[in-house]
Amino acid sequence: MPPDEGLALHRAACDLEVDGPLLEVGSYCGKSSVYLGDAAQAQGRVLFALDHHRGSEENQPGWEWHEPDLVDPAVGLIDTLPHFRRTVFQAGLEGSVVALVGDSVAIARNWSTPLAFLFIDGGHGAEPAHADYESWVPHVAVGGRLAIHDVFPNPADGGRPPYEIYCRAMDSGAFNEQPATGSLRVLTRCAPGI
């Protein structure tokens, strides 16, 4: 996440007007968790940082964004959880950032708390992106915010699924858009619906 997008994410999460926690889908090594966790801490809120910590499809061996140093040699799979925990600890945010480790859809099925802020930055394939959208957007309270990362209108600039879920939100009539920063889109819920 470029610094300008991180700062825009932080600003969007700082002046929330509805009750509830913040939740991010896709915390990876914790960079966005620091921006959001700081905003949560300043408001006396909690950020739930959700990730399975095995890396998205683009993080796997043979893909452009693979980082071999994130592979746990004992199991042969990516494990970003220790890196995430270290990042949150070093930022002094352990009291405001709660890690949720598991499958996004399974956790959403068992979630009942309305969200003041939802940040979607999980898997960028069609299935995981749309599943995150369908599973978590209904939990955003009216007046709450939805942020989506890696939204690229031009297919040559990046993958389509984050752009597709952004379009779904805008087409639903349930969200108003704030000014964009890079590939970050921030929307405010104005009505129920997905």
**124: annotated active-site residue:** yes
Instruction: Classify residue 178 by its DSSP letter.
Output: P
**Six-digit token string for 43:** 């408001």
Nearest to 6 by CA among 18, 174, 28: 28
- CB under 8 Å to 84, separation ≥6 — which residues? 27, 28, 29, 30, 33, 49, 51, 53, 99
SS3 184: strand
Catalytic residue among 124, 130, 139, 149, which? 124
Per the CB < 8 A criterion, the answer to whether 36 and 10 are in contact is yes
| Cα–Cα dist 184/165, whole Å | 13
User: Which residues are catalytic, by number?
Assistant: 124
